[in-house]
Amino acid sequence: MSATAVSRAKLSVGERSVAVSSHIVLSIWALLVILPLLWTLMTSFKTTSEIFASPFKLPARAALENYSSAWTTAGIGSFFFNTVFVVGSALILVMLLGSMCAYVLARFDFPGNRIVYYMMLGGLMIPIFLAIVPLFFVLQNFGLLNTLPGLVVTYVAFALPFTVFFLYAFFRSLPYEISEAAAIDGANEWRTFFQIMLPMARPGLATVAIMNFLGLWNQFLLPVALNTNHDNYVLSQGLAAFASSAGYDVNFGALFAAVVITVAPVLVVYVIFQRQLQGSVSQGTMK
């Protein structure tokens, strides 16, 4: 056997070892993620006595009243709609403003271009903890404290730097020939952006939309500090209030049902958007 064949055999063995090790690690990681979710889903159909008697045993019957109790009695339903309004509004605004800002910074040269870009990057370096007190007084002065619109504005402000940073490089990589061809055909900048460049950036938009949605949906510190009105609670606040309000007499079945209600939209949104992650910029240009 030649030296080349021996090296190829060793390389093949090494590749198989890496593949096997990777699959083992990924399988363990998948179990660590999936098993708690399945246990939470199973527990949401059990009564409190069943949970303490046999936490890993299947329920004797599906206690669907846990979901109705969580939705109505615990107020998760109103908190859910508050969260949908806040996160949905903030996500639409941040994706629209962030994509427009990133496009202009990436495709146009004007005085102060780099200054604006670096200021956006600087927004990524500000911890939320340091901004809580200034945000409190700013929202109070504008009459937006303890209101849902105040949370929307705050969410947009914190998600905008990351959105611009992520989409800047994406718009930068798009071919200039297509925008030039659109200009020759008589398309203005608005039409070029919304009808040509934005559809081409669909994979990047889907990725940053998922990341922003996860971050905003799971946000806890900002609502707790800036929204103390119980009627305007979001899901993260509602879960904490539900768990602490009953003291030792907590309906754990309803609590786990509330957790499932909170987690389910994240999974649904990811399943919908993951299809948009498939494809590339070249496929967008061919269409």
pLDDT in tens, 75-121: 899 999 999 999 999 999 999 999 999 999 988 888 888 899 888 88
Number of residues that make up the chain? 287
Residue 69: other Cβ atoms inside 10 A: 18
Q: What DSSP designation does 174 have?
A: S
Residue type, 150: G
The average confidence (pLDDT) of the chain is 85
Q: What is the pLDDT of residue 199?
A: 86
- Residue of 149 and 281 predicted with greater confidence: 149
Do residues 146 and 212 lie in contact, with contact meaning Cβ atoms separated by under 8 Å? no
Residue type, 193: F
Residue 279: other Cβ atoms inside 10 A: 13
Residue type, 52: F
3-state secondary structure 91-136: HHHHHHHHHHHHHHHHHCCCCCHHHHHHHHHHHCCCCHHHHHHHHH
Q: Is the pLDDT of residue 282 over 50?
A: no
- Mean pLDDT value across residues 37-50: 91
Residue type, 127: P
Q: What DSSP designation does 205 have?
A: H
CA–CA gap between residue 156 and residue 123 (Å, rounded): 12
Residue type, 199: P
Residue 194: other Cβ atoms inside 10 A: 13
CA–CA gap between residue 241 and residue 81 (Å, rounded): 17
Share of the chain above pLDDT 70, in %: 89
Do residues 82 and 232 lie in contact, with contact meaning Cβ atoms separated by under 8 Å? yes
Tokens of 104: 């202009």
pTM here is 0.84
Residue 9: other Cβ atoms inside 10 A: 11
CA–CA gap between residue 104 and residue 171 (Å, rounded): 9
CA–CA gap between residue 28 and residue 128 (Å, rounded): 33
